[in-house]
Structure 1
Amino acid sequence: MNPRRQKRLVAVTAFVLLLGGAIGAMLYALQQNIDLFYTPSQLIEGIGKDKVKPEVGQRLRIGGMVVKGSVRRAPDSLKVSFDLVDTGPIVTVEYEGILPDLFREGQGIVAQGVLVDKTTILASEVLAKHDEEYMPPEVAEALKGIKHVPPSQLYKESDKGQQP
């Protein structure tokens, strides 16, 4: 092989190796930032026909409705735990910090955190929806089976004149 072709071959090989290394490093870095979205039913029963469940220690996001009467606050700290539900099983979320102003029982929320065991999530962030009609697209898709009546439709036509 002549020296000119040998130099090109070394240069092309080095370029391919560097490009492959850069892509590998990017994928490794992104892997740590991927948070998959689950509902309580999907978390317990699994996703897809293979029923794939998240592993303990995996970062994830979970969305559902806060069960009424399930909010428990620690008297000496900012620790709070509450239950989430969609159409079936209940999952417990533990959080330490100040909850959003719009957080309340019966409210749709999305929590981001780490799976501690198969029904408990240690949340690092809790997000509440911003008004009574809005729901994140992932949560709306996952909760299609739940019959949800917006508060604006709770009043009868004859009561609309008396509504404040």
Structure 2
Amino acid sequence: MNARRQKRLWSIVAMLALVAGSIGAMLYALQQNINLFYTPTQLVEGIGADKIRPEIGQRLRIGGVVVEGSVVRDPDSLLVRFDLVDTGPTVTVEYNGILPDLFREGQGIVAQGHLVEERLIRASEVLAKHDEEYMPPEVAKALKGIKHVPPSQQTATESAGGY
């Protein structure tokens, strides 16, 4: 192999190494910004056959229906706590800020934040659907057919799992 071909080969190898290194660095940096969508049931019970649950401190988005009577506002600040539900367990969301105008109990919402405890999310953003027609597809699928009945109003048959 002559010197000219060898020089070209090393240039190509160096370029490929730089491209691979930069792609690896970008993926590593973006790893912290990945927001996975969960429903309250998926958050508590896990996803898939392995029942994989998010770790404490992980950034995530959660979608569900605000439970009637669960909204608690701190009178001295903008802190609001409320429960979200889909078809199973409830999850508490804590948000410090001004809620959207369309936020209300019984409304489908999406909250973005990080997991503080197993069933507590500290939200940095709360989104409410803007009209009756549109809802993000992932939320619509998760909320399809939800009718939340508080445990205090369930009959003995419903609480045992039968209908």
Same fold (TM over 0.5): yes
Computed over aligned residues only, the root mean square deviation of the Cα atoms, in angstroms, reads 1.5
Report the Cα distance in structure 2 between the residues aligned to 1:145 and 1:34, rounded to whole angstroms: 29
8 Å CA contact 2:65–2:143 kept in 1: the answer is no
Number of the residue aligned with 1:86: 86
State the 1:32 CA deviation.
Answer: 2.2
Q: 1:110 to 1:52 in 2, by over 3 A?
A: same
Residues 102-129 of structure 1: per-residue CA shift (max 9 Å, x gap): 0011110000000011100000000001
Gaps of 5+ in 1: 149-164
Match of 1:45 in 2: 45
* Structure 2 residue matching 1:87: 3-state secondary structure: coil
In 2: Cα distance, 1:73 partner to 1:11 partner: 63
Question: How far apart, CA to CA, are the structure 1 residues paired with 2:145 and 2:6?
Answer: 65
Any residues of structure 2 matched to 1:124-143 within 5 Å, and which? 124-143=124-143
Q: Displaced runs of 4+ in structure 1, greater than 2 A?
A: 132-135, 143-148
Name the SS of the counterpart of 1:32 in structure 2. Answer: helix
Separation of aligned partners in 2, 1:106 and 1:112: 19
TM-score w.r.t. the length of structure 2 is 0.85
TM-score for both structures, normalised by structure 1: 0.85
Identity over aligned pairs, percent: 78
The one-letter amino acid of 2:56's match is: V
Please list, as runs of the form range in 1=range in 2, the aligned pairs for 1:1-164 lying within 5 A after superposition: 1-146=1-146
